[in-house]
Structure formats: structure tokens, C-alpha cells
Amino acid sequence: MTTDPADSLAFFRAPLDSLPGLGPRLSALLARAVGGATIGDLLFHLPEHFIDRRERYLLKDAVAGTVGTFTVEVMRHDKGDRAKSPHRVVIRDASGFGEITLFHAARLVQFPVGAKLTVSGKVERFNDRASLPHPDYVVPAANEAGLPLVEPVWGLTAGLVPKVVARAMNGALARLPDLPEWQQAGVLRKEGWPGFGVALRALQAPTDIPDDKPARRLAYDELLARQIAFALIRRRRRRRPGRSFSGGEDLRQTALTRFGYQPTPAQAAVLAEIDADLAAPHRMLRLLQGDVGSGKTLVAVLAMLRVVAAGAQAALLAPTELLARQHFATLSRLCPVPVALLTGSLKAAERRRTLAGIADGTIPIVIGTHAIFQKSVAFHDLGLAVVDEQHRFGVDQRFALGAKGTATDMLVMTATPIPRTLLLSHWGEMTISRITDKPAGRTPIRTSLHPVGKMPEVIEAIERMIGQGGRVYWVCPLVSESEMLDIAAAELRFQALAERFGDRVALAHGRQPIEVRSDALMRFARGAVDILVSTTVIEVGVDVPDANVMVIEHAERFGLAQLHQLRGRVGRGKAASFCLLLHDRLSRTGRRRLAILRETEDGFRIADEDFSLRGGGDILGAKQSGLPGYRLADAERDADLIPMAHQDAAMLIDADPGLAGERGQAVRLLLHLFDQARAIRALVAG
């Protein structure tokens, strides 16, 4: 009988308070700092940097702003003239005099006059003397065992001191079990990587400043675990029976005639890939990635019509009611079959009729929001689920929609161009299709940068553009993590513009009732107002071809991908289009970021540049940088490891799909270590 791999990792799952010296209070503080309450969370809380205390300096050579270690003699204590003045301990070595500055008299006992001590801390200079305010370490010169020569610096939280983390870390490392090696020996030799335990000790309890090899080793462990998880899920999906859908050319041609254009070459290419999946005997799970305005919705419509022609149903899930209603308007115009809208705001009678039509199959296509997930929604035969702006939904939500049918195919779409690095690391379980061009007739957008101090001139330019028939989006800044503060900024800008332009200005934000927000958008769309002031609620799904000016306040606070999304709201008609990026003071990197938008409208290039400048978090609309969902892998440092892990995982699963071999058994431990539960379930299911 095979031992459960999780049993071998019980140490990593043990609570922090099982370590010596950690009671409830310190355990709670430590858990907050390391992001979890287990020993594994502690071990994976890597240092931000290291302090090197090995070099010894003379006081005369001490450099302000650096960390120095000195062997000195205590000469005397000087008390300041004022009650709150710091205490000064005069010290000397062979090169001259210096001083220790103490703000708490209790520490004076560490510095008896005449004692020879080794002290280490940050150096300042005062009256051309070396000064150490509250040194980090003070030990007798004859006994330096208490002085860490190389000290890790971890992220902390209020009330937690480094010595507590160091003591807990040393306690954990002392009990670290020996685990079988899951990496290929050839890879370890080629990269010069240490073993797993050696890498952890080199970072968490170093005796030397580590190079990048231990961190890269641990990052590759995490990346490989994720890629193996994806490979197992893909394999299971290929083995699960699906349904074969074909035909529907008459319905498609009717939709294209109503649309007025034939698909672009890129649209046709991705549609062929989707059709192949729909016709195959296994389930489809495909990511359709296309830049702003590339025509993803048309591709989705044509895919849904193929499924409907075969007698099944299709559903399109949108993240907001606004976007769902716009999709409903588009599909109702294009599709030669009934289309229904299902959202939380439907009246009771209309909802009952819609649910009945979905259940008996008389409604073949449904557009909706999260309301589609509800238990009361029962499909007659859901064959295809389409998820728009898929990064706004969790994996469980995607699969909840797919579970509404039997062997349901799934197509997920995003208008956020995603670099290959993130595609492999975050969506590796999906097959990828990219629409790489835009429909003909899109006008170029002239993008310009303006300091916020030039606001009066910008408003005058806006007034001239409106006089020439222009229509303006005015997007207010991201103020903070608080949506309410963002809304307050929008309301203030609305009031300021309304004083000048009167009732030609409307306001839209996410906290308005849907009827109020929809009314503002509709008035803007039909030309009743010239300026729409908003938060980023208009980032996706708002289609007003006559709008030709986009103003974004404090553009430096947005990610490039989000700025590109917002800019894509204009340039949809025949009029010349403009995007004005208003900014505060810019760093060199900040200016370079915004300059990229001025140089190109290629969303894929913008995404790659943003990834290289800020990391992966921003690509997904988040504030943080780095690889989303990873603790040890770093976006910039480890980008080259992701394709390597992808290939390694594919080869391993092809050769040992059940992970039954010697390396496969070790990899099972790796999957448990990095919490790849879905993959483990797929492995168990066979």
C-alpha cells in the first residue's frame, strides 16, 4: 500500500506554535508577517535582502549610511543637557574616537566603561565622528558567537522583531526533513543548483551572501509544480469525453450578413481552431486572447451559432450587468435565433419566463452575469459556455458554469494582452488562441502626455474639440484601494466640469444604481451629453463609435494594460481620435512607461513592456508586481524558467502519466508541497 505523500510533509503543515519559543501571541504576529500559520509558510517567507557584518572597519573609515562592524573600547558615558536628549557612549579604537547614541537609558548597561565590545549597526557621521544610533548588536569582543555575520532581512509586521523570526527559522530548519530529489540531475548540474534543503538553508540561515542559485532553485520548484499541475489537468481534460459539434453555416452567414463584414484573417484563423475543438470528441477549454477592438465577440457569436445549429445551447458570462446588456444588444442584432438576458435586476415575471425558456430549450443563447451560476438556473442542454473578461472570474466560477451542462465546451476570452510568460504560468491548463490584428477601418489614436498643472489648457482644448463635434470620456484617477475615494474623485471632477459645460456632462461610476448608470451611458451614446466623467467602470464593454477623445487623470497610477484598455474606448469611428494622459511628477521609469503608450497601439507589445517594467501583477489589473499566485518565483528574475518548466512537465507526464516512477513519486511530494490540489485530484481520478 502506497503511503499518502501528504504524510511525508506533515512537518510543513504543522502550526507555527509547535516551534520552540513561539506562544500564541508571537505565532499570531509571525503568521501575519509570513502569510500563513504553518511552518511551511515560514520557510517560504524568503528574505528581502541580506546584511553583511563580516567586514571589520576602523572608526575613521566608517561610511555614513552603511552597516559597519567595529571592535571598540568604551571610554565614558555623556548625558545630554536636556531631559529628552539622547545618551552618548564615547568609544574608541586604534584609529580614533566615535560614539554610540542611545535614546533609551536602559541600554547603557550594555556599555560598561572600560569594556571591549564588538558592535554592529547603521553608521552615521556627526562632527566628523562615526556614530552608531542604537546599534543592532553588542557583544563582548572575546565572545562574538552572538553576532550573525550574514543576516537575512525578512518582511515583518508591527510588534515583530527580527530576532524572533531568526529563532523560529532556525528551529524550523533544524527539524527540516530530508526529501527525495524531484528535479532532474542533469538540470541541477547544468544550472549549478543546490538541493531543496540546502537552498532553503542558504537563504534563511546563510553563512555567506548567497548568489541567485538557491532562490532560482526554489523558484523552479514552484514553477515546475504549477506546470505539472497544468499538464495533469490538460491530460485529464483530453481523456474526458466531449461532444462533436459541426454545421451551422446558414446561421453563421446570416449573422455575418447582419454584421456587414467578413471575418479578418486573424478572426478566421482562431475560428478554425475553435471549430476543430468543437468537432473533436473531447471537451474544449480554450483562451481567446485579443486586443481591444480585435473582434472577439464576433468569433464567440459564430462559435455559439455552430453549437446551437447542432441542437444545444450556449451561454455567455459577463462580469458586469453593463457589459452583459451590451453583449445582449449585440447578439440580439446579429443572431437569427432567440437570445435572452439573465441578470440579477430582472423583474420576477420576466425572470420566470427566461428560466422556463432556458430549461425547455426554447432559448438557445443566454447572456448573463453571476446570476447564471444560481441553482435555479437549469439548462435544457448547455453545449458551450463562453466567459468574457475571464480574469475577473475565479477558476471555480468558470467550472460552475461548465457544470450546468453535460460535457460542456468552454471558451474564455480576455481583452488584456498577456505576455507568453504569464500565459504559461497562469493559464497553462488552457489552449491559447490569439487575434493579432484589428478589423479594417479603425482610426489611429493620437496619444499625448500632459502635466496635471496644465489642466486649464487641457479643458480649453476639450472645449474646442467639442465645438468640432467631439465626444469625450473623462476617466478619474485611481486614488487608493478604496473604491469610495475613487468615486469621490469622479464626483468632484464632474462638478468642476459641469460648472463650465452645464448639462452637457454626465457621471457614471460603479456604485450608482444600474438604471442611473445606464441612463448616463445611453445619453452619452446618443449624443445628449458631450462629456462622460467616470471611474474605470467604462474600461470594458462600452462601445460608442462617435466618442473620439479619452482623458485620463493621473495616468501614472494606472497599469499600462489598463490604460490601453481605456484608450480602446475611442478610435472606433471615422473621426480623428485622441488620448490625453494627465500625469503628476514622473520618475524616469514612469515616463518610459507612459511613452510606450505614445509610441504604439500594439497591446501585445505594451503587455510585454509592462511585464518587463513592473512584473506580472499589473497585467491582470492588480496593484502588486511579480507572478500572480506565486510565493518564490520572481517575474523579472525567473521569466526564463517558465518555458523550461513547461517543457519539463510535458515530458514528465508523457513518460510517466501516473507519476509512478522514482521521480514521479518525488514529484507527488512536490505537488503537495505547493498545494496543487486540483492536479492531485486529477491524478487520483486517473
pLDDT score, position 250: 95
- Report the range of poorest mean pLDDT among 167-171, 489-493, 641-645: 489-493
Least confident of 153-162, 302-311, 373-382, 426-435: 426-435
Q: Name the CA dihedral angle for 593, 599, 604, 610, rounded to a multiple of 10 degrees.
A: -10
What pLDDT score does 572 carry? Answer: 78
Cell numbers representing residue 573 in the block = 469611428
> How high is the pLDDT of residue 614?
60
What is each CA distance from 359 to 251, 313, 315, in whole angstroms? 22, 10, 13
Residues paired with 216 in a beta bridge: none
Rg (CA), the chain: 31
Q: How confident is the model at residue 518 (pLDDT cuts 50, 70, 90)?
A: confident
- Tell which of 435, 469, 489 closes a domain: 435
Confidence band of 582 (pLDDT split at 50, 70, 90) = very high
| Strand duo 531-534 + 505-508: pairing | parallel
Q: Are residues 408 and 454 in the same domain?
A: no
In terms of pLDDT, which residue wins out, 232 or 255? 255
Asked if residue 456 has pLDDT above 70, the reply is yes
Alpha-carbon distances, residue 613 vs 51, 501, 570, 609, 638 (angstroms): 27, 39, 26, 6, 14
Residue 497, in any domain of the structure: yes
Q: Give yes or no: residues 524 and 570 share one domain.
A: yes
Q: Is the dihedral of CA 354, 357, 363, 365 positive or negative?
A: positive
pLDDT band at 638 (very low <50, low <70, confident <90, very high): confident
DSSP secondary structure string for all residues of 133-170: ES-SEEEETT--TTS-SEEEE----TT--HHHHHHHHH
Q: What is the mean pLDDT of the chain?
A: 86
Q: What would the grid cell of residue 248 be? A: 451551422
Report the C-alpha gap between 686 and 683 in whole angstroms. 5
What pLDDT shows up at residue 480? 44
Average pLDDT over residues 111-121: 95
pLDDT in tens, 352-377: 999 999 999 999 999 998 888 788 89
The closest alpha carbon to 636, from 211, 219, 218, belongs to: 219
Q: Establish if 428 belongs to a structural domain.
A: yes
**Would you state the pLDDT for residue 276?**
95
Contact 49, 85 (CB under 8 A): no
Average pLDDT over residues 483-487: 56
Considering the domain architecture, whether residues 347 and 274 belong to the same structural domain is answered as yes
Please, how many CA atoms are within 13 Å of residue 264, restricted to the half-sphere of its CB? Answer: 18
Pick the last residue of a domain from 401, 435, 469. 435
Q: What is the pLDDT, as a whole number, of residue 142?
A: 86
**Within 10 Å of residue 288's Cβ, how many Cβ atoms?**
28
Q: Do 429 and 293 belong to one domain? A: yes
Domain assignment of residue 30, yes or no: yes
pLDDT-based confidence at residue 625 (cuts at 50, 70, 90): very low
Residue 412 sits in the same domain as residue 505: no
Which pLDDT does position 656 carry in this prediction? 95
**Given this model, what pLDDT does residue 131 score?**
94
- Decide the pairing of beta strands 365-368 and 124-126: unpaired
Averaged over 392-410, what is the pLDDT?
A: 70
* Residue found by looking up cell 465577440 in the block: 297
Please state whether beta strands 409-414 and 49-52 pair in parallel, antiparallel, or not at all (unpaired).
unpaired
Per-residue pLDDT at 282 = 86
| In the predicted structure, residue 682 carries a pLDDT above the cut 80 | no
Same domain, 15 and 71: no
Residues 166 and 23 in one domain: yes
Per-residue pLDDT at 1: 38
pLDDT class for 122, splitting at 50, 70, 90?
very high
Looking at the structure of the chain, the number of domains it has is 4
Pair (428, 301) in one structural domain: yes
Average pLDDT of the segment spanning 36-49: 95
Could you read off the pLDDT of 273-317 as tens digits, one per residue?
999 999 998 888 898 988 777 889 999 999 999 999 999 999 999
Residue 536 in grid coordinates? 474605470
Query: In this structure, what CATH number is given to the domain that contains residue 96?
Result: 2.40.50.140
Same structural domain, 555 and 487: yes
In a domain, 649, yes or no: no
The whole-number pLDDT of residue 685 equals 64
Under a CB-based contact definition with an 8 Å cutoff, are residues 119 and 132 in contact? yes
3-class state of residue 533 by DSSP: strand
Question: Is residue 278 domain-shared with residue 416, that is, in the same domain?
Answer: yes
The two most distant CA atoms of the chain are separated, in Å, by 98
Range of the domain at 109: 54-147
- Let me know the angle formed at the C-alpha of 274 by 271 and 279, rounded to the nearest 5 degrees: 125
For 167-225, write each residue's pLDDT tens digit. Answer: 999 999 999 999 999 999 999 999 999 999 999 999 999 999 999 999 999 999 999 99
Q: What are phi and psi for residue 341, nearest 5 degrees?
A: -110, 130
DSSP 184-204: -HHHHHHHT---HHHHHHHHH
Could you give phi then psi for residue 645, rounded to 5 degrees?
-65, -35
Q: How far does Cα 132 stand from its chain's mean position?
A: 41
CATH number at residue 257: 3.40.50.300
* Residue that finishes a domain, picked among 565, 600, 635: 600
**Count of Cβ atoms closer than 10 Å to residue 141 Cβ:** 14
Instruction: Look at residue 239 and tell me if it is in a domain.
Output: no
pLDDT-based confidence at residue 2 (cuts at 50, 70, 90): very low
State whether 106 and 180 are in the same domain.
Answer: no
**pLDDT at 659 (0 to 100):** 93
Let me know if residue 682 belongs to a domain: no
Q: Is residue 658 domain-resident?
A: no
User: How many angstroms separate the CA atoms of 472 and 533, rounded?
Assistant: 8
Nearest to 271 by CA among 258, 252, 292, 251: 252
**Residue 628 falls inside a structural domain:** no
pLDDT at 462: 94
CA 88, distance to chain mean position in Å, is 49
161 lies in the same domain as 173:
yes
